[in-house]
């Protein structure tokens, strides 16, 4: 049993039609429902018919988020370990066909980065790599976790898709959560965005959260890359995936990210425009669908937009991010995965969070038994 | 009007009302009530045979087309006893269906979660279609699912009390989380309460006392049949709900208009 | 010699089978049997020879919720 069998009961076309058939009455019903909303409600919330309800959705999303998560916002920071990659992803600056200086951090470099990051007070670290199994395989990741583990209370990872046994190894080294975005649930077009490399295998990627769930990971992050395909339909597949996972791997927490395609060197511009208004609708739809899911916001978004989103359902955000390996301590000008939009320091972001009446949380939790 | 069929193990049910057969004034009344209820799954208990006594066989009164028997393990107090009782039930009735109930407490007949979990794991491995009767504990339900329960049967209130869905808040979580059918068992005292459980999204309800001790059990069985069906139709029709209209404080999306 | 049937001391013939015991004591119908806590399937009853002090459990379905 995996998500594949659930996924195959739905077609892209069918899901898209289901969303576009929604009317105001469907949105009203989804908004006023007592208890858990289902996929059909989500389709209504993310549909064009819900656009006139945006303010009401925002109010509900705000209330639900405060009720569940309190007046807090988690802060995390990504650390790029390597930009080596054997994949071609037509939207990504790390693609193998892009000419850029490739670098994989060694122990000494990692520890210099750790020092720079720790100076800001971060306790939640997200490790990021491209996909290069020989240089940045499981052995390297395991080693990197061992090095950074004593310095952080929570370790997340956004790397290539792995086997269950690999995840089990990394969890033993302190890995708490894994973010792995499907990029798009449009199976045919997925192949076009990924013409080369292991990532080309749609099914292997789709079943990754199942392998993570079976490995007993603490948290799984889902999402699609906004700008590739029609975002409403992709979001409905995320909701379907989330609903399946919550039932199947009930001891795991879930988070959703909304990476919006940003310009990067040597990549295509977005196929589909996702406006700020669309973005807000999407956050609110996810929140109203799932009261418990964490929603995370990166520095891809503009500072003033991030400030407004803080109240709408977001539970965690990155701050002060650099998207190149060695970006915090070693050198500033290596080529990035994508351009940062919010270039404020972590201290400035934390001050903004406080000004809005929220508590910035650097340290979410401690593992009680080591 | 037809609703989605309910599937438990290899069995498919059109009716979402399960009946218990205890406490009826006579076997004839029990038969007529089962018939009127439209139920396709009725429970029976197992007891030691009293020697040298002519017994009226319950099973002969339940031979109604489309009605399956669901033996229970009531009377056992441990997982070990439950496993033996289950094996005997399978022999006696030639069915893999089993309502697992282990209650060491003789006053309220509340189920023992620890023994129930242990017995479910053993019996599922032995090929039983196990429906454990349990308190409305969402984590226990997921644990039972993990070890192979075919459905879960959380209680609405202590058995035989007719108090309705006292465990409502927990039942809502169980229904939301469960990957196997949820049958609300015990405590349902009125047809409106059966409808309420079905409207919440329960997959079925099990009713016994409320029908068996009614002034007219056959009429009451009919009422429960209609209430269960009505609740299910309402669920499938996707009910609108009372609006908890969010009193708009300061607008949260006004900034979008400025662009 | 004797055995215990549902905890009741019951005399049997030496070498008596389960089948024979059941036809003496019960009136037929749905029934399940365990001897010393092991279920004996109906097909095995004719060949199953009872031993002294065996604990025989006889179970039948009754009304219940």
Task: Write out chain B residues lying below 8 Å of C33, CB-based.
Answer: 88, 91
Query: Is the pLDDT score of B244 beyond 70?
Result: no
Is B84 within 8 Å of C37 when comparing Cβ atoms? Answer: yes
- 3-state secondary structure labels for all residues of A206-224: HCHHHHHHHHCCCEEEEEE
Under 8 Å CB pairs connecting chains A and B tally to 55
Query: Which of A29, A32, A277 shows the shortest C-beta gap to B256?
Result: A277
Residue A162, min C-alpha distance to chain B (Å):
24
Over residues A245-250, the mean pLDDT reads 93
Task: Write out chain A residues lying below 8 Å of B168, CB-based.
Answer: none
Confidence band of B52 (pLDDT split at 50, 70, 90)? low
d(CA A60, CA A330): 44
d(CA A284, CA A61): 5
CA-to-CA separations, A22 to A17, A18, A28, A41, A235, in angstroms, rounded: 9, 7, 11, 9, 15
d(CA A347, CA A319): 9
Confidence band of B252 (pLDDT split at 50, 70, 90)? confident
In a domain, B34, yes or no: yes
In a domain, B164, yes or no: yes
Closest by alpha carbon to A267, among A98, A87, A84, A96?
A98
Over residues C14-27, the mean pLDDT reads 86
Residue A72, min C-alpha distance to chain B (Å):
17
Residue A256 contacts residue A242 (beta carbons within 8 Å): yes
| C interface residues, B as partner, C-beta within 8 Å | 5-6, 8, 10, 25-27, 29-34, 37, 39, 41-42, 57-65
Q: Is A35 helix (H, G, I), strand (E, B) or coil?
A: coil
Annotated catalytic residue B125: no
Residue A154 contacts residue A176 (beta carbons within 8 Å): yes
Confidence band of A203 (pLDDT split at 50, 70, 90)? very high
Residue A54 CB coordination number (10 Å): 16
* CATH of segment(s) A3-361: 3.20.20.70
User: What's the number of domains chain B is made of?
Assistant: 1
Task: Write out chain C residues lying below 8 Å of B206, CB-based.
Answer: 65
Q: Is B133 helix (H, G, I), strand (E, B) or coil?
A: strand
Task: Write out chain C residues lying below 8 Å of B208, CB-based.
Answer: 65
pLDDT in tens, A275-309: 999 999 999 999 999 999 999 999 989 999 999 99
Residue A181, min C-alpha distance to chain B (Å):
24
Q: Which of B2, B23, B99, B244 is catalytic?
A: B99
The CATH number of the domain holding residue B42 is: 3.20.20.70
DSSP A142-195: HHHHHHHGGG-SEEEEE-----HHHHHHHHHTT--EEE---B---HHHHHHH--
CA-to-CA separations, C65 to B111, B155, B192, B205, in angstroms, rounded: 14, 13, 20, 12
In a domain, B1, yes or no: no
Confidence band of B2 (pLDDT split at 50, 70, 90)? confident
Is B248 within 8 Å of A55 when comparing Cβ atoms? Answer: yes
Over residues A3-13, the mean pLDDT reads 96
Closest by alpha carbon to A123, among A323, A297, A328, A366?
A366
Is C42 within 8 Å of B91 when comparing Cβ atoms? Answer: yes
Residue A90 CB coordination number (10 Å): 15
Over residues B167-182, the mean pLDDT reads 94
Number of residues assigned to chain B? 259
Q: How far apart are the first and last CA of chain A?
A: 32
Closest by alpha carbon to A239, among A40, A13, A23?
A40
Side-chain-side CA neighbours of B198 within 13 Å: the count stands at 31
Task: Write out chain C residues lying below 8 Å of B48, CB-based.
Answer: 6, 57-59
Residue A5 contacts residue A262 (beta carbons within 8 Å): no
Q: Walk me through the domains of chain C, giving residue ranges and CATH numbers.
A: 2-59 (3.10.20.30)
Query: Is the pLDDT score of B247 beyond 70?
Result: no
Query: Is the pLDDT score of B253 beyond 90?
Result: no
Chains that touch C (3 or more CB pairs under 8 A): B
In a domain, B61, yes or no: yes
Domain of B217 in residue numbering reads as 6-257
| Residues B137, B139, B142, B144, CA torsion sign | negative
In a domain, B253, yes or no: yes
pTM score = 0.79
Is B209 within any annotated ligand binding site? yes
d(CA B157, CA B168): 9
Rounded to 10 degrees, the C-alpha dihedral B103/B107/B110/B114 comes to -50
CA-to-CA separations, A59 to A313, B246, B249, B250, in angstroms, rounded: 10, 7, 8, 9
| Alpha-carbon A136 to chain mean position | 21
DSSP secondary structure letter of residue B44: E
Contact status of B201 with chain C (Cβ, < 8 Å)? no
d(CA A315, CA C33): 61
Start-end of H helices in chain A: 3-7, 12-20, 24-32, 39-45, 54-69, 107-118, 138-148, 164-172, 187-193, 202-206, 208-215, 231-248, 276-289, 303-309, 346-355
**Residue numbers of B between 218 and 247 with CB closer than 8 Å to A:** 238, 240-244, 246
Q: Is A110 helix (H, G, I), strand (E, B) or coil?
A: helix
- The residues near C28 (Cβ < 8 Å, ≥ 6 apart) are none
Query: Is the pLDDT score of A129 beyond 90?
Result: yes
């Amino acid at each position: 049993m995996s998500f594949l069998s659930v996924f195959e009961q739905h077609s892209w076309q069918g899901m898209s039609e289901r969303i576009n058939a929604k009317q105001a009455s469907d949105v009203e019903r989804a908004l006023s429902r007592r208890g858990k909303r289902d996929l059909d409600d989500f389709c209504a919330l993310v549909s064009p018919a819900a656009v006139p309800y945006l303010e009401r959705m925002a109010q509900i999303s705000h209330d639900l988020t405060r009720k569940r998560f309190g007046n807090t916002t988690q802060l995390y920071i990504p650390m790029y370990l390597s930009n080596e990659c054997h994949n071609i992803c037509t939207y990504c600056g790390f693609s193998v066909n892009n000419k850029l200086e490739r670098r994989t951090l060694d122990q000494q470099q990692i520890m210099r980065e750790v020092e720079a990051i720790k100076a800001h007070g971060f306790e939640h670290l997200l490790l990021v790599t491209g996909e290069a199994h020989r240089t940045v395989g499981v052995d390297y990741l395991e080693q990197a976790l061992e090095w950074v583990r004593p310095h952080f209370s929570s370790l997340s990872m956004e790397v290539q898709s792995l086997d269950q046994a690999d995840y089990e190894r990394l969890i033993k080294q302190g890995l708490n959560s894994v973010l792995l975005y499907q990029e798009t649930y449009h199976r045919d077009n997925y192949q076009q965005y990924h013409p080369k490399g292991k990532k080309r295998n749609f099914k292997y990627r789709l079943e990754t959260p199942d392998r993570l769930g079976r490995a007993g990971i603490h948290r799984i992050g889902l999402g699609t890359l906004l700008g590739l395909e029609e975002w409403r339909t992709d979001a409905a597949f995320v909701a379907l995936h989330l609903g399946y996972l919550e039932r199947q791997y009930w001891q795991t927490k879930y988070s959703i990210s909304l990476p919006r395609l940003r310009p990067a060197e040597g990549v295509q511009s977005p196929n589909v425009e996702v406006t700020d208004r669309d973005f807000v609708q999407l956050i609110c739809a996810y929140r109203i669908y799932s009261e418990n899911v964490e929603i995370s916001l990166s520095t891809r978004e503009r500072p003033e937009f991030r400030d407004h989103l803080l109240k709408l359902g977001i539970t965690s955000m990155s701050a002060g991010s650099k998207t190149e390996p060695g970006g915090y301590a070693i050198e500033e000008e290596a080529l990035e995965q994508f351009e940062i939009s919010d270039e404020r320091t972590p201290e400035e972001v934390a001050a903004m969070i406080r000004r809005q009446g929220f508590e910035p949380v650097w340290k979410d939790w401690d593992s009680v038994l080591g | 009007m037809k609703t989605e069929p309910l599937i438990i193990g290899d069995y498919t049910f059109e009716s979402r009302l399960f009946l218990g057969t205890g406490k009826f004034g006579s076997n004839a009344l029990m038969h007529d009530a089962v018939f009127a209820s439209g139920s396709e799954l009725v429970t029976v208990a197992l007891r030691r045979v009293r020697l040298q006594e002519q017994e009226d066989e319950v099973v002969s009164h339940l031979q109604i087309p489309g009605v399956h028997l669901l033996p229970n393990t009531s009377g056992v107090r441990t997982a070990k006893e439950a496993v033996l009782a289950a094996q005997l039930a399978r022999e006696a009735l030639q069915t893999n269906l089993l309502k697992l109930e282990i209650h060491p407490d003789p006053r309220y007949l509340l189920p023992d979660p620890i023994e129930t979990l242990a017995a479910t794991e053993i019996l599922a491995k032995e090929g039983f279609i196990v429906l454990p009767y349990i308190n409305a504990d969402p984590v226990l339900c997921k644990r039972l699912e993990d070890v192979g329960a075919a459905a879960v049967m959380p209680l609405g209130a202590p058995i035989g009390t007719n108090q309705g869905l006292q465990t409502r808040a927990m039942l809502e979580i169980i229904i939301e989380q469960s990957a196997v059918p949820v049958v609300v068992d015990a405590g349902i005292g009125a047809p409106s309460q059966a409808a309420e459980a079905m409207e919440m999204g329960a997959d079925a309800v099990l009713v016994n006392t409320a029908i068996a001790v009614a002034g007219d059990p056959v009429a009451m069985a009919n009422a429960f049949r209609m209430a269960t069906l009505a609740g299910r139709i309402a669920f499938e029709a996707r009910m609108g709900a009372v609006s908890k209209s969010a009193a708009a404080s300061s607008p949260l999306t006004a900034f979008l208009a400025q662009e | 010699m004797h055995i215990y049937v549902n905890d009741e001391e019951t005399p049997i013939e030496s070498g008596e089978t389960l089948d024979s015991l059941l036809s003496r004591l019960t009136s037929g119908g749905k029934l399940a049997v365990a001897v010393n806590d092991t279920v004996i399937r109906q097909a095995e009853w004719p060949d199953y020879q009872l031993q002294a002090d065996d604990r025989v459990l006889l179970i039948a379905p009754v009304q219940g919720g």
